Amino acid sequence: MTNDDGIHAQGLKTLWKSVHEFADVAIVAPLIEKSGCGLGITWGKPLRIAPVEWEGCAKAWSLNGTPADCVKMALSVLLDRRPDLIISGINRGSNSGRTALYSGTVGGVIEGAMKGIPGIAFSFSDYDSNPSADIAKKYIAPLIQYFLAHPLPHETILNVNFPYNCDREIKGVRVAKQGKGHWIEQPDRRIHPEGLPYYWLGGRWHSDAEEPESDVALLDQGFITAVPLQVGQLTHPEVYSAHKEALQRQFGSHSYQK
């Protein structure tokens, strides 16, 4: 288990409570919040690992890095065997639509998928609260068990989002397509006491015309969405096929010389 809200985030504890009764769980999560770091890793400073006390004496560590760092260090340093699954979250705030590309919650499971380990990222649309343990057990545990029994294709992850007000009403679970919704920047300009301007990035949600089967559209209707994201091959096949031979003919196979 990992997340991008930090080792002490309530969502991580709720996620653990939803699976610990049927799974052997190890937790490696950032020491502090790392939201928006995507698949970023720590390169210019040393990484420090510290054990963390956890309910039920579960194995848990904090790391002064990103979720992707946490997965790297878990697999190469901390764990004595390869995990069957990596789960991440429960994130504070939706990771639907194109926001999945920025999400550290999603980044953690992408890191595992690139090493051949399937993963599921969980996010909750209500930023200021998290699904209750009862909701998590009702939906998260069965989803995890389902995809353990029906494994995802190689280098594919699942991006799961809960709708708003899910503690009151959930219409069901839907496999969805990734939507187009995203955040538009609205930088908040402020003045430092020394007179220099600085900015908080900030933003507002923008939703394009969405397909009915997109995660953005289905979340708005009150469904939990599960989007299978293929992360192993990003090459655009049509562009590759259309231009491979043409560029070879135009530029030839000779190396460039001054």
Q: pLDDT, tens digit, for every residue of 166-185?
A: 666 788 999 999 988 766 77
Cα 12–chain centre separation: 13
Residue 21 lies in a domain: yes
Contact indicator for 156, 113 with CB cutoff of 8 Å: yes
Residue 198 lies in a domain: no
Q: pLDDT for 217-226, tens place per residue?
A: 999 999 999 9
Find, among 84, 222, 229, 90, the residue nearest to 157 by Cα: 229
Residue 187 lies in a domain: no
**E strand spans, 165-239:** 172-175, 182-185, 188-191, 197-200, 203-206, 223-230
Residue 79 lies in a domain: yes
Q: Decide if pLDDT at 150 tops 90.
A: yes
Confidence of residue 230 (pLDDT cuts 50, 70, 90): very high
Residue 97 lies in a domain: yes
Find, among 68, 58, 85, the residue nearest to 30 by Cα: 68
Of 186 and 240, which is predicted with more confidence?
240
Q: Decide if pLDDT at 142 tops 80.
A: yes
State how far the Cα of 173 lies from the Cα of 142, in Å rounded to an integer: 11
Q: What is the CATH number of the domain that holds 175?
A: 3.40.1210.10
Residue 1 lies in a domain: no
Residue 2 lies in a domain: no
Structural domain harbouring 102: 10-180+212-251
Domain total in the chain: 1
Total-model pTM: 0.88
Residue 225 lies in a domain: yes
Q: Decide if pLDDT at 130 tops 80.
A: no
pLDDT of residue 36: 81
For residue 87, give the H/E element and its range.
strand 86-92
